A and B are shown apart, each in its own frame.
Chain A
Amino acid sequence: MTDLAEIAEFLRSERVTRTALSDGSGVVLDVKGLAVYSLNETGMFLVNALCEGAADADALVARLVVEFEVDEATARADVATFTEQLAKVMKP
């Protein structure tokens, strides 16, 4: 299973561009892997948090709770879904 550190490394690599749109959503473009990941506001927030150095799921959950004023259980479920989906589509 791909862990968060691998996902963060992928997102920070030169092969990837991150584009934030005005509504808070965004697009991650994998130039070499020929893939486009369309992210809602929460997904883009998590991508940016990972790229800024959030090191583990707990750090992401904490940021989500503060930013979106959701309870910890909801935030943890969102982080788990996000990690699982991104790990599934990431290409080496």
Chain B
Amino acid sequence: MPAANESAGETRFSVREIALFLHALRLSVKAQRVQRRSLEDVAGALVRTRPLPRGVGADAAARAAGRACSRVKRWAGGLDTCLTRSLVAGALLADRPGVVLHVGFRGQATGPLHEGHAWVTLDGRNVTDARDGEHAGPFTEALRVPLRRGGESRP
């Protein structure tokens, strides 16, 4: 997928990127249900969403998820968290096998006792944290939810 062209402060997106963003936006609105329903139920609903594109690149999916979740937060006061971004990115990638949503925890030296994090792997590679090193440290996995269109999402 072509990257966004940036010149003189202007960002332009390809038609394909815009279409992907719109899919991600729809998914990120649905992902807000994670505040009221179980992760398993929400993940299942997201992968059953129709229509969704096929063959989306992992980086493009993560970028689109980030953009969509930030817009939902800005426009509607929704959640923009690692969990909502991971749900959206995972659903965009779930036309192929090997997509897993992870939830993990680690101790913290200051503040709350533990920090939680959610991320998505594709064939074992972390695709949602690939672009920033913020969460590079180890999290102990507490839950994994395989995401697959046409299948069920169960921990």
Interfacial residues, chain A to chain B (CB-CB below 8 A): 17, 19-23, 25, 27, 29, 31-32, 34, 36, 38-40
Contacts and interface: CB of A to CB of B under 8 A. Distances in A.
28 contacts: A17-B142, A17-B155, A19-B140, A19-B141, A19-B142, A20-B140, A21-B105, A21-B107, A21-B114, A22-B107, A22-B140, A23-B107, A25-B114, A27-B114, A27-B116, A29-B142, A29-B143, A31-B38, A31-B39, A31-B155, A32-B38, A32-B40, A34-B34, A34-B36, A34-B39, A36-B116, A38-B113, A40-B113
Given A25-B114, A38-B112, A31 B143 contact: yes
B105 A27 contact: yes
A14 B34 CA distance: 19
A21 B137 CA distance: 14
Interface in B11-60: 34-40
Interface residues of B, number: 21
A29 B103 contact: yes
A31 B28 CA distance: 20
Contacts of B36: 34
A14 to B, nearest CB: 9
